[in-house]
Structure 1
Amino acid sequence: MSVNSHSFVSEYTTNSTMDDPRRSPVVPKPDSAGRAEVFRALEASLGSTFSSQPIIPNPNPLIIVISGPSGVGKDAVIKRLREVREDLHFVVTATSRAKRQGEVDGKDYFFMSKDEFLSMIEKNELLEYALVYGDYKGIPKQQIREYMAKGCDIVLRVDIQGASTLKRILRNNAVFVFLVAESEEALVKRLIDRKTESPEALLMRVASAKEELKHLKEFDYVVVNKEGELESSVRLLESIIDAEKARVHQRRPVI
C-alpha cells in the first residue's frame, strides 16, 4: 500500500481549515521567505510551538567492567584508553596489604589497615571485595558515586572472579568487556615472554588462563587485543562505549 504524501498534507490542511475557519495555515515556500517567517508559519499552522529542549536526555554514566585472562594486555589497553578518552574515571582499589616501594596511595591503591578494611565491609561501603593471599582488596562505593555524579563513566579492571561477582551484583546495569589474545598459542607465548614466573608458576598461570577463557560467554562484548595492534583494540573499546551511549533503553546502575 502506498500513500501520496502531497495528498495527505493537502487533506490535513483542508481539514484543519474546515475545523477552525479562523486559522490560516498558509506556509510560505522556504525558497521565497526567510527561515524565521517559515518557522513561525509552521508553528501557527500546527497550533503549537517547537521545543528547544533536547529530544532525548543526556546518556547515563556507564560502569564498564574490563576483564580477561593474564597476558592479554589489560593494563596496556586501559593505560591507552585513559590517554585518549575523556570523562572516564578508572577506579582505584582499596587494599589492606602494605605499600610497596614506588607505589602512591590514592593512585595505585588506597592503602589501609585490615581493621579499617573490615570496618568498610561491616558498613557495606564496598561494591565488591575478596581476600587474596591473606590481604583484602575491594572497590569503594563512594568513589564510584562521586564520579558518576560528575557525569563520568566508570572503568573497573578486575579478574574473572571479580567480574563474575560484579555481574551478580550489577546484573545488566554495567557493561562487561572480555579482553582476549588472538589465540591460545599467542596468549601462552606472551606469558612466556614476560619472564616473571618460575616454571611451576607459569604452568599454573597458563592452566588458569585456559579455564578463564571458558567465561567469555558471560560478558557483553569481546575485544581481541592482537599483538602490535593496541590502537585498534582501544578504538574498538571506544566504539563499544559510544554504542552504549546511543542505546534507546539506557543501563541504569545504582550504587
Structure 2
Amino acid sequence: MSKNADDGQNEGSISEPQIARRGLLYIVSSPSGAGKTTLARRVLAADRNIEMSVSVTTRARRPGEQDGIDYHFVDRSEFERMKERDELLEWARVFDNYYGTPRAPVEAAIGGGRDVLFDIDWQGAQQLTAKMRDDVVRVFVLPPSGHVLEDRLKSRAQDPADVVAKRMAAAAAEISHWPEYDYVIVNAHIETSVASALAILSAERLKRGRLLGLSDFVRTLQSAL
C-alpha cells in the first residue's frame, strides 16, 4: 500500500459516511444593538444546514419586515392563547412587547437532524435550556465598548430617542447574564464574529452525544476489520 493511501491522503473517491444526527438549538443572545441579528443572518447565509426559528411577537412590524419570515406578528390575545395551549417553548416580555418560540416546528426540525438558530434574549435562553438542555448551544454576543453599542443603536434609526435610552439602560443588566452561556463573542468586526460563530457550530455538530447513528457506524466499521 502506498504511503498516501495509508495516511488517508488520496481521498477523492471516498464517499462521506452518512451518520444520523440529532439537530441542535443554536442560541444567539446579546443586549440590543450588539449585533446578534446581523450575526445570525450571516450564519444562515453561510450554512444551508441551519434554519431560523421564527418567533411570534406582539410588537409592531418594522419597515421591511415580513410576517412569517422575520416574525409571526400576533395580537396580545392570540399570544395568550398560544401560552395557554402550551404551544410555546419559551416566551418573554421585552420593552412592553411579548416574544415566544413556537414548539412544533422546532421539535420537528431537531428530530429530523436539522439545526435551528434562535435570536432570543437571556430569558428565552434560560427557558429553552431548562426544557432542552442537551440540545442547546448558547452564544452571547458582546459589543466592543459602550460607546459602540450606543452608536449602533442610534444608527439603526428605527427607534425614537427614548427607546434608545431604555435599551442602553437595560444593557448592563442583560450583559450580566453572559456567564450562563457556553461561548462569548466580542463583536468588534462582523467578519471575525461570523467566522467564530461558524466554528462553534461545526464543533458542536461533531459532539458524540448528538451523533445518534455513531454506535451503528462503529459496529459496522469494526465488523469489516
Shift of 1:64: 0.5
CA contact (8 A) 2:142 2:186 kept: yes
Partner of 1:245: 205
Matched letter for residue 209 of structure 1: A
Partner of 1:159: 121
Counterparts of residues 1-255 of structure 1 (less than 5 Å):
30=1, 57-97=19-59, 102-132=64-94, 135-195=97-157, 200-226=162-188, 229-250=189-210
Matched letter for residue 118 of structure 1: E
Name the structure, 1 or 2, with higher relative contact order (CA <8 Å, separation 6+): 2
Matched letter for residue 141 of structure 1: R
CA RMSD of aligned residues (A): 3.1
- Percent sequence identity over aligned pairs: 34
Deviations 1:203-232 (A, max 9, x none): 332221122221111100011211xx2122
CA contact (8 A) 2:20 2:211 kept: no
- How has the CA–CA distance of structure 1 residues 167 and 150 changed in structure 2, closer, same or farther, with 3 Å as cutoff? closer
Shift of 1:195: 5.0
Deviations 1:58-102 (A, max 9, x none): 332110110011221112111211211111110111234565665
Shift of 1:158: 0.6
**Number of matched pairs:** 201
SS at match of 2:210: coil
Question: Which residues of structure 2 form unaligned runs of 5+?
Answer: 3-16, 213-225
In structure 2, distance between residues paired with 1:203 and 1:245 = 39
Partner of 1:48: none
Partner of 2:8: none
CA contact (8 A) 1:72 1:181 kept: yes
TM-score (norm 1): 0.67
Question: Which residues of structure 1 form unaligned runs of 5+?
Answer: 1-29, 32-53
